[in-house]
Amino acid sequence: MPRSGNPLSASNCVVTPIFHNVAFFFEDTEQFVNYKTDKRNRGRYGRYDNPNWSEVEDRLATLEDSEAALLFPSGMSALTSTVLTFVRQGEKILFLSRTYRNAKALFDEVISGFGIKAVALDQADTDLFKEQFLKEYDTKCRMVVIEMPSNPHQYLVDLAFVRQTVGPDTLILVDSTLSTPINLKPLRHGADLVVHSCTKYLAGHADVMAGSVAGTVARLEKLRRTRDVTGAIPGPDTAFLLNRGLETLPMRMANFESVGATVAKYLNGHPRVSRVYWTGLPDHPHHELAKKYLLGHGGVIAFELCASRIETTVFVDKLRVPYMGTNFGSCQPMVEQCSVFTYYKLAPQERESMGITDQLVRLSVGFASAEILIEDMEQAFAQTFRRPDRRVSNAWG
């Protein structure tokens, strides 16, 4: 990673200090006029500029192989701001039905209120997806939103097919939160914009919410204008913590890769597990696409148990190493039974359409070793299938 150095830091600190600063002064009007043409070298006001943002934005752009990047206070605000910047009333968005729950809600519930038509396409079956895509794509389509790999099944989309199919006026946006720029470079495969929930792997310590968008300078200047006006800005501490997380991203991803592979193989061979969703496994339904696009597979593994809903709950409750909670990509191992946790508000039919079965569990390996995670799962399997847990059975009524 190149030395970051910040023109505004006015110190020789190895770590850029946190700039809790709202107003920037100018020596004279000429300096202000220069600011207007070259904003990056001098700040003006805290909603437009912050040295901690600039530092981390440069670093994100380098990681993403993009001309520029912009920081937002969360992954959802990055996605929302991007959609509102580039898509207008009467236009259309194509997105994926198996996608992060709130991204789907953004399209189904919020964007539709702005007169934008959002159509969901199921990417689980690649041939069917292509067929549906050709049917739904038309000249009104301004944006295609692809979460890749998808959360939690890690489905992929053939980006080359999408690029060849859409015209130059359609932007391809890839949310590659689950792969990070270490494992996927969407811009190399025809994407126009890359969104991340930096809250996950990029910051990596479960102590900061942030989002980012990468792309060309011309597009990001349009997006910057939206951010300037809407005020969807991160605090300087957010940028500082994210920058610190990025320092160790390659090392953390290498660790997740090796632990993820061992745990995924263990689960794949377990008699109580019916399916494992980890793109590095040859029997993941999109393993061939993974070979085409991914440089690694990460530390998030989704799997389905050969068990009832209650047995799956007991198994998750018996785990002692991961925290039960809704996050992934951080140091802390995390686990959830998806249908009763992140997706609990959804109607059963909606869960079913998203492939969220009652047996589906998502594990983020964190910094636990594979041995410790496997030992923990062994004891949870043993307790689940030999001693039914009364407390949980009662809780389900």
Q: Is 177 in the site for ligand PLP (CB under 6 A)?
A: yes
Q: Which of 24, 53, 100, 315 binds ligand PLP (CB under 6 A)?
A: 100
Q: What type of residue sits at position 75? A: G
Neighbouring C-alpha atoms within 13 Å toward the C-beta of 164: 6
Measured from the CB atom, is 172 or 374 closer to ligand PLP? 172
Rounded distance, CA 77 to CA 397, Å?
39
Q: Which of 43, 51, 75, 181 binds ligand PLP (CB under 6 A)?
A: 75
Q: Is 209 in the site for ligand PLP (CB under 6 A)?
A: yes
Measured from the CB atom, is 137 or 328 closer to ligand PLP? 328
Number of H helices and E strands in the chain, helices first, is 15, 12
Measured from the CB atom, is 178 or 334 closer to ligand PLP? 178
Where are the strands (E) in 176-259, listed by range? 193-197, 211-215
Q: Which of 49, 175, 317, 336 binds ligand PLP (CB under 6 A)?
A: 175
Measured from the CB atom, is 289 or 377 closer to ligand PLP? 289
Binding mask 273-312 for ligand PLP (x = CB under 6 A): ----------------------------------------
Q: Is 394 left (phi over 0), alpha (psi -120 to 50) or beta?
A: alpha
Where are the strands (E) in the chain, listed by range? 68-72, 92-96, 117-121, 141-147, 171-175, 193-197, 211-215, 273-277, 300-305, 323-324, 334-337, 360-364
Q: Could you give the dihedral angle defined by the CA atoms of residues 101, 87, 124 and 272, in that order, rounded to the nearest 10 degrees?
A: -20
Q: Is 197 in the site for ligand PLP (CB under 6 A)?
A: yes
Rounded distance, CA 239 to CA 6, Å?
13
Q: Is 151 in the site for ligand PLP (CB under 6 A)?
A: yes
We find the least distance from the C-beta atom of residue 359 to ligand PLP, in angstroms, to be 21
Q: Is 76 in the site for ligand PLP (CB under 6 A)?
A: yes
Tell me the site size for ligand PLP, rule CB under 6 A.
14
Structure tokens at 233: 């800005």
Part of the chain binding ligand PLP (CB under 6 A), chosen from 12-20, 171-179, 252-260, 271-279: 171-179
Nearest residue relative to ligand PLP (C-beta): 75
Q: Is 74 in the site for ligand PLP (CB under 6 A)?
A: yes
Measured from the CB atom, is 103 or 314 closer to ligand PLP? 103
Measured from the CB atom, is 74 or 339 closer to ligand PLP? 74
Q: Is 260 in the site for ligand PLP (CB under 6 A)?
A: no
We find the least distance from the C-beta atom of residue 71 to ligand PLP, in angstroms, to be 12
Torsion sign across C-alpha atoms 95, 358, 263, 327: positive
Part of the chain binding ligand PLP (CB under 6 A), chosen from 63-71, 111-119, 172-180, 360-368: 172-180
| 151 CB neighbour count, 10 Å cutoff | 23
Measured from the CB atom, is 54 or 199 closer to ligand PLP? 199
Residue holding tokens 């479960």? 206
DSSP letter for 369, please: -
Q: Is 31 helix (H, G, I), strand (E, B) or coil?
A: helix
DSSP letter for 236, please: H
Rounded distance, CA 338 to CA 335, Å?
9
Closest CA to 130 of 149, 151, 144: 144
Q: Is 199 in the site for ligand PLP (CB under 6 A)?
A: yes
Rounded distance, CA 271 to CA 385, Å?
12
We find the least distance from the C-beta atom of residue 389 to ligand PLP, in angstroms, to be 29
Measured from the CB atom, is 80 or 313 closer to ligand PLP? 80
| Cα R_g (the chain), whole angstroms | 22
We find the least distance from the C-beta atom of residue 70 to ligand PLP, in angstroms, to be 14
Contacts to ligand PLP from residues 108-147, by CB under 6 A? 147
| Residues ≥6 apart with Cβ < 8 Å to 152 | 277, 300, 302, 338, 360, 362
Part of the chain binding ligand PLP (CB under 6 A), chosen from 6-14, 73-81, 165-173, 251-259: 73-81
| 389 CB neighbour count, 10 Å cutoff | 17
Q: Which of 186, 211, 260, 322 binds ligand PLP (CB under 6 A)?
A: 211
Measured from the CB atom, is 170 or 197 closer to ligand PLP? 197
Binding-site ranges for ligand PLP (CB under 6 A): 74-76, 100, 103, 147, 151, 175, 177-178, 197, 199, 209, 211
